[in-house]
Amino acid sequence: MTAYKSDLLRQLDARGYIHQTTDAAALDALASKEIVPGYIGFDATAPSLHVGNLVSIMLLRRLQQAGHKPVVVMGGGTTRIGDPTGKDEVRKMLTDETIEANISSIRTAFEQFLTFGDGPTDAVMVNNHDWLGQLGYIQLLQEVGTHFTVNRMLTFDSVKLRLEREQPMTFLEFNYMILQGYDFRHLSKTMGVRLQMGGSDQWGNIINGMELARRMDGAEVFGLTTPLITKADGSKMGKSVSGAVWLNREQLPDYDYWQFWRNTDDRDVGKFLRLFTDLPIDEIERLESLAGSEINVAKIALANAATELCRGAKASALAAETARKTFEEGTSGGDLPTIDVSAEISVIDALVALNFVASKKEARRMIQGGGARVADAAITDENAVISAQAEPVKISAGKKKHGLIRFG
């Protein structure tokens, strides 16, 4: 572990956030003596970000905790282009109204993690459409385009991988790295932003922006990336069996969010406690040292702390109590995911509606395998129907997914 002087880099290093930095010594010295405004960009392709974005959000939280200023850049402009990084196909174009609605919805999640305001270390949210939308095409080519060579742009993974797979890449997408680079230059010039952070796949784009700011304005700016966060089984963060783990409760109930963390692989508990909670390092070391069945204590601590950060203390406590009642007492907690139906519903349709499975075909396989239960009784008939009842009916998929069918 490197002996950093600044609270910022010491904290990031201790919790496992640092993958690459540009001139770490100079950034460390800067963060030791003055407030460093730092930013991360997020495109607004959906009404909510998901757990895959959470390490970036936590980076901004750590920045603020260390006495610096987080700048959240919403890609109102770049969302209209589409980041080709890691994508095999062209992103679907969204309307201006959809993008604005998505940004408004996404902000509610950030307000859980950051303190916004007008103070020197208060977070701010800006929309890059405010400046990118004002750029004329000729102006962009003259002022910015001359600082990018096609030779180098073709070496970027986001471009190279798409071409190697013989997947089409539009000229619109090819411009994404130029616009992202311009973001850094603009923020440096207008807001004094000195640091851009992001995932390891954004390293090339961050370097582009740094070089553009230096060439156009002589600015000294820095970049920092996090390692690729994967689960022990090799899968990406942000995904579960039934789909994306959304941060907004409108897209994913509190209980399901809590349960995602509760189901963490034993091997990931310590890493996730460091990255996704505010628990002290010594407490994390105690929790990750637990062996055997006691590791479940650490998993519950992770679920409680991660859910409290994202959804609030009340939601976290209610989800934990629902889980306790469901698993320890065999009763149905009131915070279980619920669907309302007016009449009878097939077990297959109920499993799909609760997002326990991705399709009816998968629901049939679950029933055939003995994994579906209604009122704690195994269901073996693919055509089984749940009839209307006065009380909500509990339905389960496997040992860890439970929901309620409410008739009205």
22 and 166 in a common domain: yes
Q: Which position has the token pair 């439970």?
A: 402
342 and 316 in a common domain: no
Helix (H, G, I), strand (E, B) or coil at 222: strand
Instruction: Look at residue 29 in the predicted model and tell me its pLDDT.
Output: 97
Domain membership flag for residue 240:
no
Domain membership flag for residue 142:
yes
Domain membership flag for residue 111:
yes
Average pLDDT over residues 379-403: 80
% the chain with pLDDT above 90: 51
Instruction: Look at residue 329 in the predicted model and tell me its pLDDT.
Output: 57
> 297: domain CATH number?
1.10.240.10
Instruction: Look at residue 333 in the predicted model and tell me its pLDDT.
Output: 57
Domain boundary among 182, 209, 226: 226
Dump strand ranges (E) for 56-104: 69-74
Domain boundary among 329, 354, 379: 329
Instruction: Look at residue 1 in the predicted model and tell me its pLDDT.
Output: 60
pLDDT tens digits for 112-158?
999 999 999 999 999 999 998 888 777 777 777 777 777 777 777 76
Residue numbers of the domain that contains 368: 338-407
Q: Which position has the token pair 């089409």?
A: 168
Q: Which position has the token pair 């990336």?
A: 225
Instruction: Look at residue 397 in the predicted model and tell me its pLDDT.
Output: 87
pLDDT tens digits for 157-213?
767 777 777 777 776 677 778 888 899 999 999 999 999 999 998 898 899 899 999
131 and 73 in a common domain: yes
Strand order in the sheet with 338-341: 338-341, 401-407, 393-397, 372-374, 377-378
179 and 295 in a common domain: no
164 and 17 in a common domain: yes
Lowest mean pLDDT among 30-34, 93-97, 330-334, 371-375: 330-334
182 and 123 in a common domain: yes
190 and 72 in a common domain: yes
Where residue 83 falls among pLDDT bands split at 50, 70, 90? low
> 367: domain CATH number?
3.10.290.10
Question: Long-range CB contacts (< 8 A, 24+ apart) of 281-286?
Answer: 281/14, 281/15
Domain membership flag for residue 242:
no
CA end-to-end span of the chain: 59
The CB-side HSE value for 186 (13 A sphere, CA atoms) comes to 21
- Tell whether the model's pLDDT for residue 16 goes beyond 60: yes
Total domain count for the chain? 3
pLDDT tens digits for 92-113?
778 889 999 999 999 999 999 9
- 372-374 vs 377-378, strand pairing mode: antiparallel
Lowest mean pLDDT among 43-47, 174-178, 352-356: 174-178
- Tell whether the model's pLDDT for residue 331 goes beyond 60: no
46 and 151 in a common domain: yes
> 161: domain CATH number?
3.40.50.620
Where residue 85 falls among pLDDT bands split at 50, 70, 90? low
Domain membership flag for residue 11:
yes
Average pLDDT over residues 224-248: 82
What predicted TM-score, i.e. pTM, was given to this entire model?
A: 0.79
Average pLDDT over residues 79-102: 73
152 and 11 in a common domain: yes
Residues 185 and 209 sit within 8 Å (Cβ to Cβ): yes
Where residue 262 falls among pLDDT bands split at 50, 70, 90? very high
- How is residue 93 annotated by DSSP? P
190 and 158 in a common domain: yes
Q: Which position has the token pair 């097939």?
A: 346
Domain membership flag for residue 56:
yes
Domain boundary among 267, 300, 329: 329
Instruction: Look at residue 242 in the predicted model and tell me its pLDDT.
Output: 55
121 and 61 in a common domain: yes
Where residue 377 falls among pLDDT bands split at 50, 70, 90? confident
Instruction: Select, from the ranges 167-171, 206-210, 305-309, 316-320, the one with the highest average predicted confidence (pLDDT).
Output: 305-309
Where residue 404 falls among pLDDT bands split at 50, 70, 90? confident
Domain membership flag for residue 241:
no
Lowest mean pLDDT among 17-31, 173-187, 260-274: 173-187
226 vs 200: CA distance, rounded Å: 6
Average pLDDT over residues 4-18: 97
292 and 318 in a common domain: yes
Domain membership flag for residue 213:
yes
